[in-house]
Amino acid sequence: MELVALLSTGKGTWEQVSGLMNHGEWDKVILLGGDFAKSFTHQKDFEFINIDLDKKLKPLKEEFTEKLKGKFQGMEVACSIASGDGKEHMALISALINLPVGIRFAALTREGVIDL
């Protein structure tokens, strides 16, 4: 299963994404973020997609959709929205649903990676 994760401002929230990358078994990792997130590094391979997070909700959703189209092999993805704000979360979730692809929310807890 692919992991799709939002990287927004606030590097503290990136620890959750990094932990998911380390502890999950992913076929592919796709990270989405603005210019600020280009500085994210990780020892595991990932694809970074630059997104203009300053856009209004509908254009942001359209950009997510355009840039994610054709990126997934399966019928569902694991999604992390630990980073970001409500507008960004709504735009990403809406884009994934409209691709269409099913979503399993993933989080790293003390017990390991869990689906929510």
pLDDT-based confidence at residue 27 (cuts at 50, 70, 90): very high
pLDDT in tens, 6-26: 998 766 788 889 999 999 999
Q: What pTM did the predictor assign? A: 0.92
Instruction: Identify the pLDDT of residue 10.
Output: 66
Q: In the chain, what are the domains?
A: 2-115 (3.40.50.2000)
pLDDT in tens, 61-97: 999 999 999 999 989 999 999 888 999 999 999 999 9
Output the CA–CA distances (angstroms, integers) from residue 67 to 20, 51, 73, 111, 115, in the order listed: 22, 9, 15, 33, 25
Instruction: Identify the pLDDT of residue 13.
Output: 83
List all residues 6 or more positions away from 47 whose beta carbon is below 8 Å from its beta carbon.
Answer: 28, 29, 30, 31, 71
Distance CA 21, CA 80 (A): 11
